[in-house]
A and B are shown apart, each in its own frame.
Chain A
Amino acid sequence: MEHDGTALRSGSGAALGFARALSEDITAFVLGENLEAMAGEAAKLAPVLVADHPALAAPVADRWAHVIAEVARAQNAELIVATSTTWAKDIVGRAAGLLGGAMASDVIGHEMVDGELHLRRPMFAGAVNATIVLEGSPKIITVRPSAYDAPTAATTPFTIEAVATDAFDVEKLPNATQFESLDRKTGARPDVTEARIVVSGGRAFKNSEDFEQHVGGLADALGAATGSSRALVDAGITPNSLQVGQTGKIVAPELYLALGISGAVQHLAGMKNSRVIAAINQDPDAPIFEFADYGLVGDVYEEVPRLIAELNSSQ
């Protein structure tokens, strides 16, 4: 279960939801240092195993993957599941490399067919869904948080247990990587992966002030998160934590508003599973409209201020 040092990452419960759909015998594993709060949260969802140790203070891949692999072996785990994030790709991916490499990333669906676990996952920036079977055990799977719900929280919490003292040998932990710093992006707005509504801007916006005024302004009027296409990140107009797409963040909010975004496949890969998609673009043939439920052909510099004004006047 991923956490940020103070709380579980929202979405981390999706991995438990997937695991619960396949088995009654599941354990939430939390590793790091000072894990009381996170273990408590996880215990609402499943029995918890914790590896709490100063040597695990920062999430460096070689150490954490080593511990995950050792604990998975000790538990005879057949399935290791994590919610798909950069943390899981880095650390759980490496653990999979220690455990035989039967891994599927970004799973969005599954089915048992004749006792075989069929997994559905996007490929080619989401242009294709592939169905695959993993050969070998254990199987290591990351799931998209939008595809699976966390199990419902129990009224009486499950047990919390520490890993056996010999589960891993602190002396033998890899020591080739040192954590230096994490420049946490801070902002008043919710994270793009966690918001109910995402307002996203593309190349139509000429500079950060315009982006903030229009995309930021509309997001605030809606209580939404802001996102952006890669074009703006490349231009230095938005920070890369806002990038939505194949190589950025994958989002599936209730509403995704695409403002001056053309709808390149790489962008669509990150947002096309949103429940409702609306787009404003001055080009009536922009591909984004094919993936939208509602479209307004117009200039974002004119239409967005109108939306903001109308929202603010109705409050």
Chain B
Amino acid sequence: MPALIDMIDQGRKIPHHRPWARAVVHSDVWRFAASQLAETHWLLLGLWGDTHAVHMALLEEGSTGIGVISLECADGRFPSVGQTHPPALRLERTIRDLFGLEPTAGPDPRPWLDHGWWGLRYPLGARVGHPIEGYSYDFLPSEGESLHQIAVGPVHAGIIEPGHFRFTANGETVVRLEERLGYVHKGIEGLMAGADLTMAARLAGRTSGDSTVAYGIAFARAAEAALDIAPPPRAVWLRALMAEIERLANHVGDIGAICNDAAFALMHAHCAILRERVLRAANECFGHRLMRDRALPGGVATDLEASGIACLRALVVEFRRRFPALVDLYDNTASLQDRTVGTGVLQPTLARQYACGGYVGRASGRNFDARRMPGYPPYDSLRFEVPLLEAGDVNARVWVRIREVEQSLSLIEQILNQLPGGPICADVARSGAGPREGVALVEGFRGDILIWLRLGGDGKVERCHLRDPSWFQWPLLEAAVEGNIVADFPLCNKSFNCSYSGHDL
């Protein structure tokens, strides 16, 4: 079995692609990569379209190898990866919708993000000036005695994002769930093309609002890699500080919301208080409750004053005083455990096959955290554990979050103790001519976010692809729900908490 790096060495290496190599390969190498994915020798980090080309980001575990391979599609086609590796299916359907590039022998000819309303087809490719004719969407058939279907959404009953769920049930038991997404497709990658770095960073920070810091960092890192510049040390540490604050807010909010979906409102009320305290602290320290537009290419926009440090120390103290009692409450409430233990089990083999990141992957035994591997500063100077469980049920996803809250508290303390001084932003003026490419993998609260960027000679974005962790979690929710009762779907769904906006782009 050749190593990923050998395969990339065989192809035509692209200069100015950082920090990992990219090579243009032949279709037989592309097919070989697909077969390696099918056997889970390598894992799929991303698959996206470009003008007359497709790119695939691959991860080789163990050797810490990441690489991007590209295939030129002169005839508008590329060998389907989804044919042998299901995690690629929706990504391929998206490439067809956006670029008009056809996956040869692709098993699913249905559109994905294109619902027939855009007034044109292939918006990032040929821009054919009319929508799909006679648009219809067929859900997968289910056959069997006494099956019935329940259609839910796109508008749901709570304050949540829109998406459609088609349940096929036998009595109360879900036989099949099929998701239909794309309702909040905003055309972010289309808006990215031609945007300057400032505008592009704003767009990246609005891909999924709950992960605005993580997206900001990922975009900044991709841009800095492309331009080959380094942000000042203080900026790097402040970014990590904001990232951990964001993780804390989301995790504690989720823990409460999951319990709420098991009709245990007390946890929800107390967790919501803690979440609000985090947002207020963020506002006090960085001038925005969600810390939006704070991580920028070159550094960060806001410095942390001495009063901010005190505020965050007080927040950590408050958490340490309140949170353990809530964890006890969760652990000792039998009626709550009855709902979460054994519900919505995601098998570890599936989590690995889908390279599923974040708490969903880690609750099903997938030991992956982008802060560790590939790793990025300042996490190499910080001590933290990556909690790992095998059970894969709602309960495990709650516990991974609980442990990560504790880790984030410790990280915040360590960062405050070691925060270096100095400037917070470097000049992003580009040097050298010709296109430059950068890629970044950053651990958001939900999992690893991949951003790939090509800057043109004028410093504007030519192509930017943003891959939310939800791409590899949504399909697994379908698997985890199977065999559960319909009434447990909200609980399972909340325990995954996938992003609609991050996925739909």
Partners in one complex: no
Residues of B whose CB lies within 8 Å of any CB of A are none
